[in-house]
């Protein structure tokens, strides 16, 4: 059979299978991510039906999926929101790095892998998966929750930290001198700083340049700009995900809203491909020998991530339910952990590090959507409903967009004004009813004509 025909059949079968799995997950009211990963295991190395000609295209689609996930996440917030959140949440970033990097470093040292492997495994256990978490937030309808800006701030701090961490790890694994490693680090930091500066200061100009009334042109320009920035950032040792996120931050107003609507179907398609690709490169036979240490590490770092999110949300004034949701959402690891492990495997630092990292990430990328959904109800049940919660809010209060954004402030002001008008109208109507009652009592009831109804207040 012709290779192009085989490619179409394979890739079409993948997309069709993902669609069916997505429908099954929707019926079960469950995130489809674990099902996508299991599908990747079935079609990957050592699986039931390994792919052939379409694997390279799936790899490219997976990279686009991560980029689109972070772009769409960036479109939800403005540059001002980013800067203010980073200023207020940097202590949470420090707590995050301390609680979640140390278990990986300790595990590597206990296994006798040495200090360089400890630095590598520390990064693997530290960094949450922006791609998985972005998908989970959308699936659970939590983009507008009050704890979501806290989650995003921690993710952005982690992603920006990769601009420092990855060059350092690359230099350590390559055995280069301090001077060469310093040059690489300086370039990475400079590029990340320039992109952030452009997003913050010139975001309005970028939005005007991109803006158009034609949906086709808007889609092409935004998608092309995002891929170019992500590619340049990747080439200069800065994460492509960071570049895509900052492009989303730079766009605002009608451009951001229009781009979000146009790119949502593409994001869902390529994000699903990303999770399948992750499973494709996991050989099921390599997991059992390292399963026990991977499970132990996953258990410890699940608790440390939940503690990180809970503490950060508490510090931001979020109620008890939101604190547990923030902690559970941060558990998943994914793309960055695999990138770090890939660097270590390529350098040949230790033969068991790759399978351990793969098993660890696979466990948490499956558990992550579950903890995001069930940490809150489980914690409230175990604590008897005492989650450190503040006084009860009105229904839906936890789902309001943070008032730190312009849209949130306008929506809040509109709701307050509407509530004030309704209360004033109610008071006027009540006063009118009381006046009519007093008048009727003083003057006595008037006789009704035959068929005439009793007057009723129109309040």
User: In this predicted structure, what is the pLDDT of residue 285?
Assistant: 77
Point out the least confidently predicted range of 301-315, 333-347, 403-417: 403-417
Entry pTM: 0.65
Which range has highest mean pLDDT (208-217, 334-343, 400-409, 447-456)?
208-217
Average pLDDT in the 357-373 region? Answer: 87
Local confidence band at 302 (pLDDT 50, 70, 90 cut-offs): very high
Mean pLDDT of the chain: 76
pLDDT at position 441 over 50: no
pLDDT in tens, 19-44: 998 888 888 766 677 788 778 777 76
3-state secondary structure the chain: CCHHHHHHHHHHHHHHHHHHHHHHHHHCCCCCHHHHHHHHHHHCCCCCCCCCCCHHHHHHHHHHHHHHHHHHHHHCCCHHHHHHHHHHHHHHHHHHHHHHHHHHHHHHHHCCCCHHHHHHHHHHHHCCCHHHHHHHHHHCCCCCCCCHHHHHHHHHHHHHHHHHHHHHHHHHHHCCCHHHHHHHHHHHHHHHHHHHHHHHHCHHHHHHHHCCCCHHHHHHHHHHHHHHHHHHHHHCCCCHHHHHHHHHHHCCHHHHHHHHHHHHHHHHHHHHHHHHHHHHCCCHHHCHHHHHHHHHHHHHHHHHHHHHHHHHHHHCCCCHHHHHHHHHHCCCCCHHHHHHHHHHHHHCCCCCHHHHHHHHHHHHHHHHHHHHHHHHHHHHHHCCCCCCCCCCCCCCHHHCCCCCCHHHHHHHHHHHHHHHHHHHHHHHHHHHHHHHHHHHHHHCCCCCCCCCCCCCCCC
pLDDT at position 458 over 60: no
pLDDT in tens, 106-136: 999 998 888 888 999 999 999 998 878 888 8
pLDDT in tens, 215-268: 898 899 999 998 998 888 777 766 677 778 778 878 877 888 888 889 888 888
User: In this predicted structure, what is the pLDDT of residue 431?
Assistant: 53
pLDDT at position 336 over 60: yes
User: In this predicted structure, what is the pLDDT of residue 395?
Assistant: 36
User: In this predicted structure, what is the pLDDT of residue 178?
Assistant: 58
User: In this predicted structure, what is the pLDDT of residue 413?
Assistant: 44
User: In this predicted structure, what is the pLDDT of residue 426?
Assistant: 53
User: In this predicted structure, what is the pLDDT of residue 308?
Assistant: 95
pLDDT at position 94 over 90: yes
Between these two residues, 238 and 100, which has the higher pLDDT value?
100
User: In this predicted structure, what is the pLDDT of residue 295?
Assistant: 95
């Amino acid at each position: 059979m012709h290779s192009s025909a085989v490619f179409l059949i394979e890739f079409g079968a993948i997309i069709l299978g993902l669609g069916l799995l997505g429908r099954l997950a929707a019926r079960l009211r469950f995130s489809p991510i674990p099902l996508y990963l299991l599908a990747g295991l079935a079609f990957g190395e050592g699986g039931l039906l390994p792919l052939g000609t379409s694997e390279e295209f799936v790899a490219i689609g997976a990279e686009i999926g991560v980029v689109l996930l972070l772009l769409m996440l960036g479109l939800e917030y403005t540059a001002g929101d980013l800067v203010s959140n980073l200023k207020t949440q940097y202590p949470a970033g420090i707590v995050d790095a301390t609680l979640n990097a140390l278990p990986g470093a300790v595990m590597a040292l206990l296994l006798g892998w040495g200090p360089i492997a400890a630095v590598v495994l520390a990064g693997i256990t530290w960094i949450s998966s922006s791609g998985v978490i972005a998908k989970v937030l959308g699936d659970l309808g939590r983009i507008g929750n009050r704890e979501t800006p806290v989650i995003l701030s921690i993710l952005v701090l982690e992603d920006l930290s990769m601009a420092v961490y990855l060059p350092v790890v690359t230099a350590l694994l390559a055995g280069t001198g301090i001077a060469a490693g310093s040059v690489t680090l300086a370039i990475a930091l400079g590029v990340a700083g320039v992109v952030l500066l452009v997003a913050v200061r010139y975001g309005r100009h970028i939005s005007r340049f991109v803006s158009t009334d034609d949906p086709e042109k808007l889609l092409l320009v935004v998608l092309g700009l995002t891929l170019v920035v992500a590619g340049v950032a990747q080439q200069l040792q800065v994460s492509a995900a960071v570049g895509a996120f900052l492009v989303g931050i730079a766009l605002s107003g009608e451009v951001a809203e229009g781009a979000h609507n146009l790119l949502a179907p593409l994001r869902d398609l390529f994000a699903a491909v990303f999770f399948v690709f992750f499973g494709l490169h996991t050989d099921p036979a390599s997991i059992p020998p390292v399963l026990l240490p991977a499970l132990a590490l996953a258990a410890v770092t699940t608790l440390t991530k939940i503690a990180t999110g809970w503490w950060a949300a508490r510090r931001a004034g979020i109620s008890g339910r939101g604190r547990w949701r923030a902690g559970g959402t941060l558990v998943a690891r994914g793309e960055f952990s695999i990138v770090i492990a890939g660097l270590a495997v390529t350098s040949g630092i230790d033969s068991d590090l790759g399978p351990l990292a793969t098993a660890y990430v696979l466990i948490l990328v499956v558990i992550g959507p579950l903890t995001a959904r069930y940490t809150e109800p489980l914690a409230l049940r175990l604590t008897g409903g005492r989650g450190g919660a503040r006084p009860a809010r009105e229904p839906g209060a936890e789902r309001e967009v943070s008032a730190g954004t312009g849209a949130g402030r306008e929506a809040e002001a509109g709701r307050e004004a509407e509530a004030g008008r309704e209360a004033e109208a109610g008071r006027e109507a009540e006063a009118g009813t009381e006046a009519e009652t007093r008048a009727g009592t003083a003057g006595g009831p008037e006789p009704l004509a035959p068929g005439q109804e009793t007057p009723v207040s129109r309040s």
